[in-house]
Amino acid sequence: MHWGLSQEQELFRDAFGEWLAAVAAPETLRKWLAAGDVRPFEERLVADGWLGVGFPEELGGQGGGLLEIALAAEQLGYHGAPGGSWLASVLAVPALVGPPGLAESVLAQGEFAALAVSAGQPPDGPGPVRYEGGAVHGTVPSVLGAGQARYLIVPAWSGGGCDLFAVEAADAGVSLRNRPLLDRSRSAADVHLVGARARVLDVDGRQVLKDAAQRAAVLVAADSLGAAERMLHLAVDYSKQRKQFGVPIGSFQAVKHAAATMLVAVESARTIAYFAAASVDQGGAEAPLHAATAKAQVTAAAQHAADSALTIHGAIGYTWEHDLHLFYKRAKLNEHLFGGADVWNERLAQQLPLIPDRE
């Protein structure tokens, strides 16, 4: 099966890709990463209206749904653009739809938000935070985008239930400790909460986190799809330029096979990611299954593509001056972001009737 996009979706994908190519060219990206400051990109992303894609206009968005957000994630991955604050915010916004103005301040004004959940696990798992007397207490390790967020959406679990609270990152009871990541285009921080003032959000906390887990799975998969496609293009271009024994290495059968395998993986991943995005957006009974498939299969395929691309490039692929390492690191981080393939494959196993019932 091949998943086709509408004309409007193709136009959006291409327009956003062209914008990224102009704003986040590799030489510009390297300057941001070397300085450890990606705010120039984040400010342009907000100012030019891209942060609101996929959300209703009444919330300050630009319209569209999860498939449009996935297309944005794919292009961010393809261009290696800083996407940590973007991803953190699009996962957090559904928790902010109740209080007037909160979602609008994120989508339209760029006051980023982040779910206070560990970036190494799916967002719907129990966390270490407790709520007492109008304040939250606890430590959450490796929260994606926490360093750039104005709002932290903090889950507090009790008796099997979960309440969500909005906390200002600037509150005196909040302290952050940066966590360096392999992929410097994204950032994370440990969040320490010691009596931080909290505003309860009138939402079903468990359902919001369940939805966030599925959306995270789809969007990380889409990001990996974009990175894998870029590595394929880099590998093919390099194989035409690099010569051994007087001929381009692209003429060698082993290199042809590696590139063909990467191409099949990318095209298969595209259909999986797009279909999962549409399924989760529609909220069907099999949406969790499709989201888990996308996270487990697409990120694993991108990781294999990264290894193949690096093999084709050889030692030059490790160097700071070559673009490959930007996407290699991105694919490697995505495989573990919000849970590795083992976590999501376990979810698949739990949902699939592997042994048919017999009467």
Task: Write out pLDDT tens, residues 316-355.
Answer: 888 888 999 999 999 999 999 999 999 999 998 888 876 6
Task: Write out pLDDT tens, residues 205-243.
Answer: 999 999 999 999 999 999 999 999 999 999 999 898 887
pLDDT of 46 strictly over 80: yes
What SS3 string covers 173-220? CEEEEEECCCCCCCCEEEEEEEEEECEECCCCHHHHHHHHHHHHHHHH
| Distance from C-alpha of 243 to C-alpha of 343, rounded to nearest angstrom | 42
User: What's the residue count for the chain?
Assistant: 359
What pLDDT is stored for residue 240 in this prediction? Answer: 85
Of 99-108, 179-188, 347-356, give the lowest mean pLDDT range.
347-356
User: What tokens appear for 162 in the block?
Assistant: 């979960």
**More confident of the two residues 182 and 151:** 151
| Distance from C-alpha of 177 to C-alpha of 166, rounded to nearest angstrom | 20
The torsion angles phi and psi of 135, rounded to 5 degrees, stand at -140, 160
Residue 157: helix, strand or coil by DSSP?
Answer: strand
Provide the residue ranges of all domains of the chain, joining segments of one domain with +: 207-351
Q: What is the mean pLDDT of the chain?
A: 92
Percent of all residues in the chain with a pLDDT value above 90, rounded to a whole number: 78
User: What tokens appear for 330 in the block?
Assistant: 């991105």
| Distance from C-alpha of 225 to C-alpha of 220, rounded to nearest angstrom | 9
Task: Write out pLDDT tens, residues 263-288.
Answer: 999 999 999 999 999 999 999 899 99
What pLDDT is stored for residue 31 in this prediction? Answer: 93
pLDDT of 245 strictly over 70: yes
pLDDT tier for residue 246 given thresholds of 50, 70 and 90: confident
Mean pLDDT over residues 121-138, rounded?
Answer: 93
What pLDDT is stored for residue 351 in this prediction? Answer: 83
pLDDT of 114 strictly over 60: yes
CA 114, 179, 50: angle at the middle one, nearest 5?
Answer: 40
- The type of residue at 345 is N
Q: Where do we find the tokens 């239930």? A: 161
Contact 267, 120 (CB under 8 A): no
pLDDT of 359 strictly over 60: no
By the 10 Å C-beta count (0-12 exposed, 13-18 middle, 19+ buried), 41 is classed as: buried
Contact 249, 239 (CB under 8 A): yes
Of 27-41, 62-76, 92-106, 343-357, give the lowest mean pLDDT range.
343-357
What pLDDT is stored for residue 193 in this prediction? Answer: 97
Q: Where do we find the tokens 């193709």? A: 10
The dihedral built from the CA positions of residue 47, 219, 60 and 95, taken in this order, carries a sign that is negative
| Distance from C-alpha of 191 to C-alpha of 181, rounded to nearest angstrom | 16
User: What tokens appear for 158 in the block?
Assistant: 């009790």
pLDDT of 357 strictly over 70: no
pLDDT tier for residue 1 given thresholds of 50, 70 and 90: low
What pLDDT is stored for residue 277 in this prediction? Answer: 97
pLDDT of 79 strictly over 60: yes
Q: Where do we find the tokens 């990380």? A: 220
Q: Kindly indicate whether the domain formed by 207-351 is annotated with CATH number 1.20.140.10.
A: yes
pLDDT of 3 strictly over 70: no
